[in-house]
Chains A and B, each alone.
Chain A
Amino acid sequence: MIISYYLPPITLSNLALSNLFPEKSEEDFLKNFGIKNRFIRQSHQIGSDLGYESAQLFFEEFDSVPKEKIDYLIFCTEGLDYKCPTSASVLHHRLGLKTECACLDMPMGCAGYIYGLSLAKSLVLSGVATHVLLIVADIPTSVIHSQDFDLRAIFSDAGATTLISKKEAECIGGFVFGSDGSGAKNLIVEHGSTRKPIDSEWIEKYKDEPEYLAHGRMTMNGLEIARFSLQRVPQLLEDVLAKNNLAFEEVDLFVFHQASKFILNALKRKLKIPDEKFYEYIEEVGNTVSCTIPIALKNAEKEGVLKEGMKVVLLGFGVGYSWGGTVIRWS
């Protein structure tokens, strides 16, 4: 599977965070969050811009990809350009893809990459499309209040592009999904959209924040999100293995949504996954929402951890609540 990703140019180190929050040291941030550096969008960049940059890098890196054959574009972001048209249509035009191409938006957050792979595989193997471009991009920092140090310590903005044609689709296994909307309130950006648009009271309240938090403000109940992960992910893993007739020991690598260092460590311990089979890539980039899995896969390959033919379990879980998983054979 071929993947490229883009990280925006502004960075936020633990030193910078400790200067912003003097009651916490640089070491506190590293110890509590397990993250060294975060990437922040420039003020003019939104989801489709990061997606665009990742796709441009993709076409540069893999110049043999038949761009003219792309006939389906899936764009996963929670930072859409407009109410309408779809951001995928905007991206499609910017990328100069052919007219005979479907465009679909999918705001699926932490499980977004798994959703994207499931759609792409189904579209290709059912003959609806031949070359699906899956672009995931999220800008969580646009909805974080400047004083919410825990959210600032966890999240980064990013974009990632993957191509799924017949060869890749045949290497993607069976999927398991689940949803539980009772957890919606535990990770939410409540204002700034249709149900609760921002109003004059909001603008007054957040007048000192960049863009007066016009995109909304993320709130997260970290304890409940961690409980959800500990409760749901073990069952998800069991179901994904059963669906793919795979024994736990037969898995070569586990790549989970890089939610937080704490959640990853707790899951690794609970599931008794050996260190060498549990790939983490959160220290250098933080939680990039829908982009964590493709970014991790790309780096695992670059580091030589992920090799041709390996069976890799991918699990995405979070906002919604939503969760999904599959097994891929790396090619």
Chain B
Amino acid sequence: MEINEFVALIEGEFEEVQPGTLTAETSIKDIEGWSSMHALILIALVDNHFDVLLTGAEMKDLTTIQELFNLVQSKLS
């Protein structure tokens, strides 16, 4: 999966977010309507698509969507 597909996947997951508004450099916590619930949604999304179960601590250390993508990729390789 490429980063732009990953961004689109996240956009599709959050109903508050309009398609095309997020980029790889978007800070996760700046996503419209961000709450602890969204961290959960991202963990479940990553688990479902990559079979990688991130921890809360790993999520806390992340800033951008690109960093999240890189983390997932590093766990796949």
Contacts and interface: CB of A to CB of B under 8 A. Distances in A.
Contact of B39 (A223, A266, A269): A223
B48 A222 contact: no
Contacts of B55: 227
A230 B47 contact: yes
B43 A227 contact: yes
**Contact residues of B: prevailing secondary structure:** helix
Nearest to A226: B40
Interface of B: 35-37, 39-41, 43-44, 47-48, 53, 55-56, 59
A266 B43 CA distance: 10
Nearest to B41: A262
Given A32-B37, A222-B40, A262-B37, A227 B48 contact: no
Interface of A: 32, 221-224, 226-227, 230-231, 262, 266, 269-270
B36 A223 contact: yes
Nearest to A224: B56
A230 B43 CA distance: 10
Contacts of B47: 230, 266, 270
Contacts of B41: 262
A226 B43 contact: yes
A223 to B, nearest CB: 5
A222 B56 CA distance: 10
Contacts of A223: 36, 39-40, 43, 56, 59
A270 B44 CA distance: 9
Contacts of A222: 36, 40
Nearest to B60: A223
B13 to A, nearest CB: 11
Contacts of A227: 43, 53, 55-56
A232 to B, nearest CB: 11
11 contacts: A223-B40, A223-B56, A223-B59, A226-B43, A227-B53, A227-B55, A231-B53, A262-B44, A266-B44, A269-B48, A270-B47
Residue of A221, A223, A262, A270 with most partner-chain B CB within 10 A: A223
Contacts of A231: 53
A221 B59 CA distance: 14
A289 to B, nearest CB: 20
Contacts of B43: 223, 226-227, 230
